[in-house]
Amino acid sequence: MAGDSVTLRLDGEVTIDKLSDALARFAKLLEALGTSRDAHVEWVLADLDFDSAVATARAVPLDAAAEQQIPAMYDEYLSAAQAVARGDVDPSRPILRLVRDLTEVADERNRVVLETADDEVVFVAPARQPGNGASTQFTKSLGTVRGRVETLSHRRGLRFSLYELATDKSVSCYLASDLEDIMRDAWGRVADVTGMVTRDAASGRPLSIRSVTQVDVVDEGDSNGFLAARGALRLSKPAEQIVRHMRDAG
């Protein structure tokens, strides 16, 4: 699925210093993607989630020639991350070095995830040596995740963040453009999202949902519905007297 947006995610509780460092390294990588193909593009912030520090950048072409190069740049972002995860240290590809530099911010508190609409690569430690740091400890299967829909981003397909109810962590969701109608009235509401779910194998926590086929808004009921119970019980004495009597009897 060719696109024009790429995502950097820092899992865990992220400090301002670490976020600043990661974004600076991310910016250098994005600049190199354009330079490697002599493409004149501007990377603009398309999405920013405070939870887990998720930043999505979109390539805006500055001329017609650059527009033709964007799909290849999008593919190279993911393929370079996959190559580094495999331990590729080809010195003729500066982009691999920049990906490795970006993984330097990964540690036991913050995993680094390089993500597109097609896949993600997770680093649990700096990829300083071949094969070091890349995590393959996740599973992919068809499933459903319940959470609150936030941050819709409509550009060559639909990306949105789902805050899972169980963990209150952000899950990246990708929906094909021809299915965008199923998102109608879903923003800000709790919904069951069905698709290909990538989960952390150790914790079972969902990381992303791709090939989304269904979004079912959940009826949360009336938050003031309890008021309808007023007067449902007819008592011979005021409630405060009954409560006092029960307390004294205990």
- The full set of domain ranges for the chain reads 5-135, 138-217
DSSP β-ladder status, 54-61 and 134-135 = unpaired
Nearest CA among 28, 42, 53 for reference residue 106: 53
What pLDDT does residue 151 have?
65
Measured CA to CA, the distance from residue 122 to residue 134 in angstroms comes to 6
Measured CA to CA, the distance from residue 135 to residue 122 in angstroms comes to 5
What pLDDT does residue 197 have?
95
Q: Which two tokens stand for residue 200?
A: 């952390």
Mean pLDDT over residues 33-58, rounded? 88
Residues 6+ apart with CB under 8 A from 169: 51, 52, 163, 205
Beta strands in 94-205, from DSSP E residues, in sequence order: 112-115, 120-123, 134-135, 138-154, 158-164, 170-175, 190-200
Mean pLDDT over residues 107-116, rounded? 91
pTM of this prediction exceeds 0.85:
no
Mean pLDDT over residues 106-133, rounded? 83
Which one is predicted more confidently, 138 or 243? Answer: 138
Please, which pLDDT band fits residue 44 given cuts at 50, 70 and 90?
very high
Torsion sign across C-alpha atoms 85, 9, 162, 79 = negative
pLDDT above 70: residue 229: no
Measured CA to CA, the distance from residue 124 to residue 106 in angstroms comes to 6
The single-letter DSSP state of residue 50 is T
What pLDDT does residue 167 have?
85
Identify the CATH assignment for 138-217 out of 3.60.21.10, 1.10.3720.10, 2.40.50.140, 3.10.129.10: 2.40.50.140
Q: What is the pLDDT of residues 136-168, one digit of tens each?
A: 578 899 999 999 988 666 554 578 888 998 888
